[in-house]
Amino acid sequence: MKSVVTSMLLPALLSVLVLFTLMSFRVQAGNSHYSDDVTQHRAAYTNNNHGEDGVKFSCSIAQLNEIDQQMSVYFIQLGINATLIQRQLNPQAASLLFTLATPPNDFSTLNFRSRPEMQIRDQLISLPSAGGSMITVLTVSEKEIVLALMQHGRLTEFSGEQCNAETFIDHVKIRQNTVAWAELLEWGWPDGGKAKWNKKYWNKGTPLRGVSPSVAVADAFENQNKYSIGCYTATKLVMVQGILDYYHRIKKSPHELARVERRLMADGEPLVNIEPRAFWFFEEDFDANRLWENGKLLEMRYNIPPRNFVPGDWGYILNTDPKTKNKIGYEGSNAIYLGRGQFDDYYNDHNHSYLLREKLDEVYQWRNKVFSRSRDIDKVLPLTEGEMNALESAPDQGGLIMDTRAFFMISPSSSETLH
């Protein structure tokens, strides 16, 4: 009888084993294990389309010649040595491509400051603070941002109405302004509790009637002690503030400011859906019907190498621990890259910034129930060099760094409505 049962069960067990093996293979093979829709979306929004790297302009030859001259002047103003750049003007493809003259397999931007040939120095930036006074912060330079955009591993393309040097420079300066606003933050951390907002301007995360998003968002930076928010909300506030403040205070463009505010308020909620919904494609409860929804303000790209961040990028460090990832606020860490190898610290828990390995270690140690470095220091399990190296990869390769980046780049002719 035992042999009969075994002979009946064996094929079933083998079938289950084969199915389990196939499922495991699909999970380890990368993002193909999600759905055909996600695979198609990834193909449409990958970081490049023809193996190209750097900054690309696509428009008429007359425009490209003018852009070429303007970019040369801009590089000189920033102190970028011409030997650092590879320039490719392709009349047949009507394109102009600027790429760093680094090895093709060099994707990292985190160590630019330590590369002597790049001569990276920080910049002093003035920001408005409470009471109308100004404060000075030391932040990333335009030069570092431009060099990072031209590094191998990603493509940033300007075409159509965006195909001009002014739009590119705006893009760089918005990134710098975004980083500047993230330099000295000390918001409260709700730790799973309710968020706190300044009731003079906000009803929870919605501006009061008659309060513009520019005024409400700016208050979160000028009166930080009145706010206690999670890192997702904090990240959105920084991205929005960097853009609104640039058009209002730096470029002084009422038209552009009004356009951005209209987009933010299209659904009455300026902090909702600013990024494409596909940014969260990896979540278990992700609604595939929303995969192709655009963000109100930001774009995204997939397939970015783990150590490739441009200052002003919004990336994500995923908590891959099956237990603690279900704890509210500890699903992962939304991270804005500040340049100089540093990432944001919204709560001044770590002298206002984290190095990548410090950020990775912070998220990894959550599985050891280290939710406060000061309170839970005895629970920290130090990682070896090999373990840290492994974390500096994508989750499907045993690491924590998602291959997506979100950033601001919207054409002036973009639709004002949500899609």
20-29, pLDDT tens digit by residue? 333 333 333 3
Residue 169 one-letter amino acid: I
- Which DSSP helix (H) or strand (E) runs through 318? strand 314-318
224-267, pLDDT tens digit by residue? 999 999 999 999 999 999 999 999 999 999 999 999 999 999 99
Mean pLDDT of 164-171: 97
Residue 120 one-letter amino acid: I
Under the banding of pLDDT at 50, 70 and 90, the label for residue 410 is low
Residue 102 one-letter amino acid: T
Under the banding of pLDDT at 50, 70 and 90, the label for residue 347 is very high
C-beta of residue 123 within 8 angstroms of C-beta of residue 175: no
- Which pTM was predicted? 0.90
What is the pLDDT at residue 49? 64
Domain boundaries, the chain: 52-408
> What's the chain's average pLDDT?
89
C-beta of residue 179 within 8 angstroms of C-beta of residue 311: yes
Helix, strand, or coil here: 134? strand
